[in-house]
């Protein structure tokens, strides 16, 4: 891992003398901030988040322990960091432009250069045309944009943000958060790292690469985990919900030590079914068996004059069922794959059924939903509703189509396309009920 | 660039910028001339028994002299207030001492400083008029400076934490911090306190320009001495002329200086949203349109500020960090503390020496007279409250009444009570009242306005919901006052009373002892004690009565006003 930009070693904050009267605000804690990450520091109000931020920036002194900046101990405000404040902290008697210029003036930048850089930064945050306005003429969201411009104009190594969206109304905050992320993703943000203090769990999981949760009385690190969700993130994504629930549990139960829900176990409840037919899967296995059980995917596609993109769903489906493994572009048959290939048709179906029930949550879900009904039938709409939280409308249709294909092959359930219902045929029901 | 900007520039041209520039130029030249003239007088030989002319034609020049004195004293006050406030705000070790000193100095009546200051200055410049002039300026200074220092200190201490942090994290040098954070934040407080201070300066102008000190009779040409000699001679015509001149000057200053200053300082209001009704000033509007001033500002102040902030200010900031080494600072602090302690020690020894000549009879008289003055202060406060509370509430609650009454009250308040004394005394003598009653009236004249304006402000600040509640639930008149209005104005009323009581004590010195129609009118009281001791050059009694007065004022502040203030702050503060 890269060298940390800031490292807190056994940093603590307390008031009063050691002994009964000492008020411990922050228990000794270690924290590293690395280049390239967005780190969210979460905690209940009064937990010392802001104090920790001020200690890391050198604005406040730790009572004990040390803060290292590029390995050097910090005394006094750290050079080349910025803070975006909850209350904006703009100077009301300076115009927007003068506010943004102020930090440059403090670094001794010449007037012409100052104006150029400040104007550019104001453009970046979407405030061109407001250079000569005074902060009190602006709405809250625009004020915080000025706050961002002022913070970014010095191109800080770390951009610290102290609850930057808390003073804004919900919609403005949401909007500004997204714009911030866009700038970050497009690398238009002249900063290496963002350190954001917040009490908003959603905000932390939405923005951060890494979330650190502080406990209260005294502040200590309860958990420190990476958010393994790709951007842009969707609140409706189940994994998102899981992480939010996890943080919520940590925050509301000071004694509990819940585990970070592991990403492999807790992939979205319905991983996308690759659109492959069971016949295609069997075909792939046959070809692989011919080539000693392993082959490069690209070669395989060439061999069959397929596009790789057409080939992939079949490979993924086989992998999902556990018949092959894929690593570094090579497909390799597993023992289960050999067994499946060598079996007769009835045994094939049995194996497929077992694999599907174990490894394909959607099929299992459909089956158990049907089994709860006495007439063992449910309309398509039921499953469409179930899936459209996770997939687009078209994709939902495709997913169900694939599920029907697989379910029929495994003789788990059938589908009546005219009546638009899923159902379990009587003999199949008798078969699986055992 | 938009059409609006274009339109603005066209509108700008219609105000004849050339004329404006010419006016600005003339004003600058006029000030330069005045400075030369005044300098000529100041540096001339001592003019001990200057005859003060009572002819109206002398008034413009006298007004100029008084104005220059006030201005110099004001500039000094500002410089002192900023320095003192700055040190007190940033040095935790000396803060408590500095504030206590300020508190005591504030409660010492201006005129008690008079003999010491004058004798010292005359000794310093025995052959030049400068000595007496500087003495007079210092006296005016002592009447103006303390509340400005308090205001600056309080502003510095109340700068929001996040603004401070912003200036720290963006590594402002000390100068940039001063110019972009501290001074702007303190501006509104400084402007308002400047107005109060300068009003106080007018109040004591008569005493500061003409006084007897033992055998010496000091007279400085000015508005104050004009009024004083008119009163001494009982020349009603001259009194009215002088009064008219003074009111004219005060109104002119109000229009040309304070209104623009207030309108300009609006920019420094620390608020999140723009106020709906911001104060305006026609002078400021004109000045803002002057191309000459704009250009001068762009060409000189801008680059200068730039240079100072980026170069000079930063260097000092870094040096400051270097010399922040504990040793140098501690040595300096110890040296200063030792010097101050030595001076204080000498002062105490000297004071004891002086006080040694006092017998118990004099002490008893001083204490009794203190009681008499205390009573007068209380009575004047009570009378003032009796009429200002109903009037202030009526004005504050009725915007229509406020539009008419507010400006009138402001003009009335701006006339220094001391200038009115001769007129009031004339009336009193006609009616046959003595100075015993008269002095209460005079204190009232000087102090009622503080209460009135604060009550108006308080009544305006009562949320209309409260009044509506009283309306809906049909509160009786008594309940309306007891449950809504009085609690609503309480914090403001206390502020007004504190200021008024300080003012009344100070006014007692002039109100209880007055040169009028060739003789001395006086009544029994601490103020009269101080004034007559000054006249006779009796330093022992002067010192004793000053100490008694300062002690009384400080202890009343601590024991009465501060607890009430605390109550107002905690229980009756309306959180927005």
Q: What is the pLDDT of residues B268-285, one digit of tens each?
A: 877 655 555 566 777 777
Alpha carbon A266 to chain centroid, angstroms: 13
Give the mutation candidate from A51, A53, A89 for the B interface (greatest B CB count, under 10 A).
A89
pTM of the model as a whole: 0.71
Residue A402: partners with Cβ closer than 8 Å, 6 or more residues away: A273, A274, A275, A276
Q: How far out from the chain centre does Cα A273 lie?
A: 22
- Interface residue B575 vs chain A (CB under 8 A): no
User: Given an 8 Å threshold on Cβ–Cβ distance, is B165 in contact with A54?
Assistant: yes
pLDDT in tens, B340-397: 888 888 878 777 777 777 778 888 888 899 999 999 999 999 999 999 999 999 988 8
In angstroms, the CA A144 to CA A154 distance is 16
Mean pLDDT of chain B: 80
CB distance B538 to B553 below 8 Å: no
What is B94-126 written as a DSSP string? HHHHHHHHHHHHHHS-HHHHHHHHHHHHHHHST
Cross-chain Cβ contact B267/A134 below 8 Å: yes
Q: Which residues contact B49 (CB under 8 A, 6 or more apart)?
A: B217, B219
Span B239-255, pLDDT tens digits: 889 888 988 998 888 88
Q: What is residue A305's three-state secondary structure?
A: coil
Q: What is the pLDDT of residues A55-93, one digit of tens each?
A: 999 888 888 899 999 888 888 888 889 999 998 899 989
The C-alpha angle with vertex A394 and arms to A392 and A400, in degrees rounded to 5, equals: 100
Judge whether A159 and A207 are in contact, CB under 8 Å.
no
> What is the three-class DSSP state of B402?
helix
B273: nearest CA partner in chain A: A136
Q: In this prediction, does ipTM exceed 0.85?
A: no
Asked if residues A86 and A167 have their Cβ atoms less than 8 Å apart, the reply is: yes
Which among A76, A85, A136 has the least Cβ separation from residue B271? A136
What is the band of A144 on the pLDDT scale with cuts at 50, 70, 90? very high
Tokens read off for A432: 């699986």
Number of Cβ within 10 Å of residue A79's Cβ equals: 14
Q: Is the pLDDT of residue B420 over 50?
A: yes
Query: Would you kindly state where each structural domain of chain A is located, as residue ranges?
Result: 6-252, 359-433
A159 close to B (CB below 8 A): no
Q: State residue B324's pLDDT score.
A: 47
A202-239 pLDDT per residue, tens: 999 999 999 999 888 788 888 888 888 888 888 888 88
Q: How confident is the model at residue B574 (pLDDT cuts 50, 70, 90)?
A: low
The answer, yes or no, to whether the previous bond of B206 is cis (omega within 30 of 0) is no
> Which is nearest to A399 in space by CA: A243, A270, A266, A252?
A270
Give residue A91's pLDDT: 92
> What tokens appear for B559 in the block?
């024991």
At the topology level of CATH, where does A6-252 sit?
A: Rossmann fold (3.40.50)
Q: What are the strands, taking DSSP E only, across B240-362? A: none
H or E stretch covering A407? helix A393-409
The answer to whether A210 touches A39, Cβ cutoff 8 Å, is: yes
| Interface test with chain B among A98, A100, A105, A115, by most B beta carbons within 10 Å | A105
* Residue A214 token pair: 């502080």
- 10 Å CB burial of residue A305 (0-12, 13-18, 19+) is exposed
What is the token pair recorded at B476? 């009786």
Task: Identify all chain B residues contacting A108, using CB atoms and an 8 Å cutoff.
Answer: 310-311, 314
**Which residues from A are below 8 Å from B170, CB to CB?**
82, 102-103, 106, 150, 154
Average pLDDT, chain A: 85
Point out the least confidently predicted range of A364-378, B215-229, B413-427, B465-479.
B413-427
pLDDT tens digits along A352-405 = 988 888 888 888 888 888 888 888 888 888 888 777 766 777 778 888 888 898
H/E run at residue B209: helix B183-209
- Supply angle C-alpha B542, B546, B551, rounded to 5: 155
Beta strands in A185-270 (DSSP E): 193-198, 210-215, 220-226
State how far the Cα of B462 lies from the Cα of B490, in Å rounded to an integer: 11
Give Cα separations from A22 to A26, A60, A62, A341 (angstroms): 12, 18, 15, 72
Q: Which of B180, B187, B310 sits opposite A94 (nearest CB)?
A: B180
Rounded to whole angstroms, what are the CA distances from A69 to A51, A128, A268, B14?
17, 35, 39, 59
Task: Enumerate domains of chain B plus CATH numbers.
Answer: 24-289 (1.10.3720.10), 291-327 (no CATH), 352-576 (1.10.3720.10)
Residue B310 has pLDDT above 60, yes or no: yes
Q: Return d(Cα B456, Cα A41) in angstroms, integer.
A: 49
List alpha helices for B324-359, DSSP H: 326-355
Tally A–B CB contacts below 8 A: 76
Place of tokens 């809504």: B484
Close Cβ partners of B326 (under 8 Å, ≥ 6 residues apart): none
């Amino acid at each position: 891992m890269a060298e940390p930009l800031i490292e807190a070693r056994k940093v603590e904050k307390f008031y009063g003398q050691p002994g009964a009267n000492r008020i411990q605000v922050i228990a000794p804690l270690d924290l590293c901030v690395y280049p390239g990450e967005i780190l969210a520091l979460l905690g209940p109000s009064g937990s010392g988040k802001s104090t920790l931020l001020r200690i890391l920036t050198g604005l406040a002194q730790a009572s004990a322990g040390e803060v290292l900046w590029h390995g050097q101990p910090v005394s006094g405000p750290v050079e080349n960091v910025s803070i975006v404040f909850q209350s904006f902290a703009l100077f009301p008697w300076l115009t927007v432009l003068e506010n943004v210029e102020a930090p440059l003036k403090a670094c001794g930048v010449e007037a012409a250069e100052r104006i150029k850089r400040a104007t550019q930064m104001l453009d970046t945050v979407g405030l061109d045309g407001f250079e000569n306005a005074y902060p009190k003429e602006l709405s809250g969201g625009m004020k915080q944009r000025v706050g961002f411009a002022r913070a970014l104009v010095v191109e800080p190594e770390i951009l610290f943000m102290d609850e930057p969206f808390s003073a804004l109304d919900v919609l403005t905050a949401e909007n500004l958060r997204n714009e911030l992320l866009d700038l970050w993703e497009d690398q238009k943000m002249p900063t290496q790292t963002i350190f954001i203090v917040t009490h908003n769990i959603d905000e932390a999981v939405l923005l951060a690469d890494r979330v650190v949760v502080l406990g209260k009385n005294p502040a200590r690190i309860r958990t420190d985990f990476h958010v393994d969700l790709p951007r842009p993130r969707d609140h409706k994504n189940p994994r998102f919900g899981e992480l939010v629930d996890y943080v919520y549990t940590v925050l509301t139960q000071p004694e509990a030590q819940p585990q970070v829900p592991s990403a492999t176990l807790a992939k979205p409840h319905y991983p996308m079914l690759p659109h492959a037919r069971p016949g295609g899967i069997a075909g792939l296995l046959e070809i692989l068996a011919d080539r000693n059980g392993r082959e490069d995917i690209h070669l395989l596609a060439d061999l069959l004059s397929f596009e790789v993109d057409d080939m992939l769903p079949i490979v993924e489906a086989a992998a999902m069922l556990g018949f092959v493994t894929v690593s570094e572009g090579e497909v390799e048959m597993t023992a289960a794959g050999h067994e499946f290939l060598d079996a007769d048709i009835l045994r094939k179906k049995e194996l497929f059924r077992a694999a599907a029930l174990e490894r394909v949550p959607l099929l299992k879900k459909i089956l158990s939903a049907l089994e709860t009904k006495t007439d063992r039938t449910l309309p398509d709409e039921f499953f469409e509703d179930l899936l459209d939280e996770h997939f687009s409308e078209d994709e939902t249709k495709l997913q169900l189509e694939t599920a029907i294909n697989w379910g029929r092959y495994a003789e788990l359930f059938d589908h009546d396309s005219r009546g638009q219902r899923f159902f379990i045929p009587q003999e199949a029901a008798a078969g699986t009920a055992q | 660039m938009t059409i609006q900007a274009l339109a603005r520039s066209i509108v700008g041209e219609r105000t004849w910028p050339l004329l404006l520039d010419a006016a600005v130029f003339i004003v600058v030249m006029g000030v330069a001339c005045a400075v030369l003239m005044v300098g000529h007088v100041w540096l001339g030989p001592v003019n001990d028994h200057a005859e003060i002319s009572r002819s109206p034609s002398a008034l413009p020049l006298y007004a100029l002299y008084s104005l220059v004195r006030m201005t110099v004293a004001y500039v000094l006050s500002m410089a002192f207030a900023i320095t003192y406030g700055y040190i007190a705000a940033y040095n935790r070790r000396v803060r408590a001492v500095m504030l206590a000193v300020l508190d005591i100095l504030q409660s010492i009546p201006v005129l008690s400083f008079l003999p010491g200051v004058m004798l010292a200055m005359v000794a310093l410049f025995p052959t030049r008029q400068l000595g007496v002039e500087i003495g007079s300026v210092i006296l005016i200074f002592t009447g103006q400076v303390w509340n400005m220092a308090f205001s600056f200190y309080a502003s510095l201490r109340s700068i929001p934490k996040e603004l401070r942090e912003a200036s720290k994290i963006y590594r402002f040098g000390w100068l940039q911090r001063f110019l972009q954070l501290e001074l702007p934040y303190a501006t509104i407080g400084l402007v308002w306190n400047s107005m109060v201070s300068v009003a106080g300066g007018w109040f004591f102008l008569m005493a500061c320009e003409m006084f007897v000190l033992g055998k010496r009779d000091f007279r400085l040409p000015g508005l104050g001495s004009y009024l004083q000699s008119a009163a001494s001679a009982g020349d009603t015509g001259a009194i009215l002329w002088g009064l008219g001149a003074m009111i004219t000057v005060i109104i002119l200053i109000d229009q040309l200086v304070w209104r623009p200053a207030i309108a300009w300082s609006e920019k420094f209001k620390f608020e999140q949203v723009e106020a709906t009704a911001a104060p305006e000033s026609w002078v400021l509007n004109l000045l803002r349109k002057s191309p000459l001033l704009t250009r001068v500002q762009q060409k000189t102040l801008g680059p200068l500020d730039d240079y100072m902030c980026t170069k000079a200010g930063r260097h000092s900031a870094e040096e400051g960090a270097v010399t922040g080494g504990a040793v140098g600072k501690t040595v300096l602090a110890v040296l200063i503390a030792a010097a101050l302690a030595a001076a204080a020690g000498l002062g105490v020894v000297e004071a004891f020496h002086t006080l040694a000549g006092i017998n118990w009879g004099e002490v008893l008289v001083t204490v009794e007279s203190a009681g008499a003055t205390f009573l007068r202060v209380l009575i004047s406060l009570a009378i003032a409250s009796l009429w200002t509370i109903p009037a202030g509430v009526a004005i504050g609650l009725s915007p229509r009444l406020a539009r008419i009454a507010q400006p009138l009250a402001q003009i009335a308040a701006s006339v220094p009570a001391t200038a009115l004394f001769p007129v009031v005394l004339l009336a009193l003598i006609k009616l046959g009242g003595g100075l015993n009653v008269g002095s209460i009236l005079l204190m009232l004249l000087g102090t009622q306005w503080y209460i009135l304006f604060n009550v108006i402000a308080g009544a305006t600040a009562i949320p209309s919901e409260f009044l509506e509640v009283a309306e809906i639930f049909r509160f009786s008149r008594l309940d309306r006052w007891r449950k809504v209005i009085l609690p609503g104005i309480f914090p403001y009323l206390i502020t007004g009373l504190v200021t008024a009581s300080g003012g009344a004590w100070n006014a007692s010195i002039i109100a209880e002892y007055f040169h009028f129609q060739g003789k001395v009118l006086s009544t029994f009281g601490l103020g009269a004690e101080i004034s007559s001791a000054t006249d006779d050059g009796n330093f022992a009694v002067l010192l004793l009565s000053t100490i008694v007065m300062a002690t009384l004022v400080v202890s009343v502040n601590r024991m009465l006003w501060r607890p009430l203030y605390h109550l107002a702050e905690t229980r009756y503060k309306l959180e927005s």
